[in-house]
């Protein structure tokens, strides 16, 4: 699979997602191809975001945050495996910025780092295979 979206702007995506209470990513994950890309990169079928979102509602979105933090940690491991230079996203980076960051800026910073790592991993995989 060749990755076509290797320059996603995570900060903007994070702000939009925050302002829409996570509803933006309900559409973006499947329609933007992000869910499928994560499956290919991580080598397994990841839990669908909509499931994590629904399970997050009764837990005040703690479940959704932990789900995203786990994906971030797996992405970091993949980046290290491929020899992609840091800084990387990580479990603590995703969780910490979302919980302890400023209300709007924290989630945007966490999402920026996540997509920065994702973009670099996808570019590296494109170099390797195409």
What pLDDT digit, counting tens, does each position of 42-80 carry?
Answer: 999 999 999 999 999 999 999 999 999 999 999 999 999
Residue 87, preceding peptide bond in cis (omega within 30° of 0): yes
**Residues of the chain below pLDDT 50:** none
Residue 32 in domain: yes
- Are 111 and 14 in contact, with CB atoms under 8 Å apart? yes
What is the spatial distance between Cα 31 and Cα 50, in angstroms, rounded to a whole number?
Answer: 12
Residue 35 in domain: yes
Domain count across the chain: 1
Residue 94 in domain: yes
The per-residue pLDDT for 116 is 97
Q: For residue 128, give every residue at least 6 positions away whose Cβ sits within 8 Å of its Cβ, in sequence order, or none.
A: 82
Residue 60 in domain: yes
Helix (H) or strand (E) holding 86: none
The per-residue pLDDT for 128 is 86
The per-residue pLDDT for 130 is 72
Residue 9 in domain: no
Residue 7 in domain: no
Residue 3 in domain: no
- Are 82 and 125 in contact, with CB atoms under 8 Å apart? yes
The per-residue pLDDT for 26 is 93
Range of the domain at 110: 14-129
């Amino acid at each position: 699979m060749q990755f076509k979206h290797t320059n996603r702007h995570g900060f903007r995506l994070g702000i939009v997602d925050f302002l829409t209470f996570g509803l933006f990513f309900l559409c973006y994950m499947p329609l933007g191809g992000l869910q499928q890309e994560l499956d290919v990169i991580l080598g397994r079928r990841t839990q669908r975001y909509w499931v994590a979102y629904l399970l997050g509602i009764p837990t005040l979105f703690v479940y959704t945050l932990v789900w995203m933090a786990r994906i971030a940690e797996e992405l970091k491991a993949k980046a290290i495996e491929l020899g992609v230079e840091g800084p990387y996203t990580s479990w603590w980076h995703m969780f910490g910025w979302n919980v302890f960051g400023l209300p709007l800026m924290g989630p945007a910073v966490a999402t920026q780092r996540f997509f920065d790592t994702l973009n670099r991993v996808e570019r590296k995989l494109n170099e390797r295979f195409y």
